[in-house]
Amino acid sequence: MDQVSRIYLDHNATTPLRAEARAAMVAAMDVVGNPSSVHAEGRAAKSLVETARAQVARAMGAADADIVFVSSATEAAALACAGRDLVAAPIEHDAVGAWVADRLAVDRRGTVDLDEPRDSALQLANSETGVMQDVPAGTAVSDMTQALGKVAIEFDTSGIDMALISAHKLGGPKGVGALVLRRGLDVTPTLRGGGQEMGRRSGTENIIGIAGFGAAAAAAQVDVEAGKWAEIEKLRNILESALEAASNTTIFIGKEARRLPNTACFATPQWKGETQVMQMDLAGFAISAGSACSSGKVKTSKVLTAMGFGHVAGNAVRVSLGLETTEQDVMRFADIWAQKLKKHEARAA
């Protein structure tokens, strides 16, 4: 496979490892100590963890919150939601949806209104559509996995109790995430033993992954503050305009709502999303049909169905851009996608 000619447009699934994260992880590999040990080697390892904790806290605007390192946002969701009677809308990621009752309505724009925030989970941004929510103060749990690193977050002033985040969505390594919780709030640990992570998650910390997470979060914060994602939003809009010009039947889902700057979700009736993904893959593009966190399964999107797009949910694909994406990349994608569409229409005629 010729990797040089390929264009990666699936950043909401996972992102390329940032150089800063790679360097921090390589350095951490030479740190011998266990973070729980009190000798010099242990203190050196603990210092890496605490440096990363501070870096993630700064990126989250969470200087007054606790950062609990875990293996993934999925584990963070279990830690936050287990044993609680929470309600949510069916747009939540399955990691949250597994623990909550789908009782809240979502409108056609993809937005949700919470009546009782204290008893609710509400994501900040949706992985499939990019639609962002106005998460009210008092919300119990908010999945901020897709938003961190793309938009500014101020957890301390948000009034939210807990947030879920993951390293590999912002240029960090896979296999490490965090639960961010308002200081003074406690959770019941699901992993018990040595009492690591302030007693909230036992098990020797993955200092290599955590170091990479911290470095990626710090670098991502710099990019957000520099306004780099505004340029990506322009590219996303250029892409959607080019696709609209190629097809008068394609539906752009969530376009009327506030969205992540990098995400386009669109459905072309009578053209399966899975087919589009395979055709574009063969043409050198990585895109997805919905969320990419379900063991490679392609199934009808509950998110799009809940929004009222069930009739075209199987025809939807998601393109999610990264900071390295260029205008040439998106225009090449639009051109080849239009060619594939014409061939599909000719076969269907």
Q: Taking a C-beta distance cutoff of 8 angstroms, is the pair 336, 280 a contact?
A: yes
Query: 296 CB contacts (<8 Å, ≥6 apart)?
Result: none
Task: Identify the CA nearest to 135 among candidates 229, 77, 118.
Answer: 118
> How far, in Å, CA of 24 to CA of 202, rounded?
24
* Residue 293 falls in the annotated catalytic set: yes
Question: What is the Cα–Cα distance from 310 to 299, expressed in whole angstroms?
Answer: 12
Burial class of residue 331 (count of CB atoms within 10 Å of its CB; 0-12, 13-18, 19+): middle
The DSSP-derived string for 274-295 is HHHHHHHHHTTEE-BSS-S-ST
Torsion of CA 144, 148, 152, 158, to 10 degrees: 30
Catalytic residue among 86, 293, 330, 341: 293
Which residues partner with 285 through β-bridges? 7
Inter-axis angle of helices 40-60 and 207-225, nearest 10: 30
Q: 73 with 95: CB under 8 angstroms?
A: yes
Measured distance CA(211)–CA(44) in Å, rounded: 12
Can you give the C-alpha Rg of the chain in angstroms?
21
Active-site annotation, residues = 293
